[in-house]
Amino acid sequence: MRTEFSTEPATPAEIPGRIARVVEALREAETKAGRSMGETRLQLAVKYQPVEKIRAALDYGARFMGHNIIQQLEDIEPQLRDVQPHWTHVIGHVQSNKAGKALAFANCIETLDSLKLARRLDRLQGERIAAGEASAPFEVYLQVNSSGADSQFGLEPGRAKELAYQVSELGNLKIGGLMTIGAHTDDVSEIAASFACTRDLRDSLAADIPTCTELSMGMTHDLEIAVAEGSTIVRVGTAVFGPRPAA
């Protein structure tokens, strides 16, 4: 059974309670799946959210964010420099001309889906290391289009392994895991199958790429299914903030 969350817009004062409800649902899902409590982390999907709502969530203790829009990442992140520690991932498609900004303002890009982008990120991160702006390889996840949806970015599962091995040879990038969006359907078995496909791919890659451990999959509407299939990160926006504001 899926947890029902409020769909009303949340005020900053209501956000801590909303986060607590999502975390409770995650822990219940872990228990039901026979997993250890705390294996799945909550990532706040903050697309178009105002900084006062993001800050309310961070002040409560949810220090892990996901940004879809690089411009918003660039605008918001400098306003949160006093909130330490916190971690920011890019969870939207990255255009080549935005790659440098993503490296500068985020801790990880979850949406790598081409060798061309990987090579650009590798080169730019190498320049950042040489300039003293970074000291280690940048973490990336490969985005897998596990449902085969034409509307989604990401690699076909059969092509993901090839790219993973190519990226693993780039000295300034580190593969931390895989990311996927579940099948867009009400059929629970289809959603579960798209998540299971990504988990199996992660498991097969981890044998040769030990850093490939994370599974970023599941959102407000399918987080319980994702947890049951092994997700380590769920990307939740609506259940915490309410409907996404217009751009």
Determine the 3-state secondary structure of 78 from DSSP.
Answer: helix
90 close to 117: Cβ distance less than 8 angstroms = no
For residue 185, which phi and psi values (nearest 5 degrees)? -160, 165
Q: pTM for the whole thing?
A: 0.95
Q: What is the pLDDT of residues 155-174, one digit of tens each?
A: 999 899 999 999 999 999 99
Residue pointed to by tokens 């490969």: 142
Of 55, 102, 62, residue with least CA distance to 236: 62
CATH class of segment(s) 12-240: alpha beta
Q: What is the pLDDT of residues 8-37, one digit of tens each?
A: 899 999 999 999 999 999 999 999 999 999
Omega prior to 85 cis, within 30 of 0: yes
Cα dist from 49 to 45, 64, 83, 88, 243, whole Å: 9, 14, 17, 14, 10
Q: What is the mean pLDDT of residues 97-117?
A: 97
Q: What is the pLDDT of residues 30-83, one digit of tens each?
A: 999 999 999 999 999 999 999 999 999 999 999 999 999 999 999 999 999 998
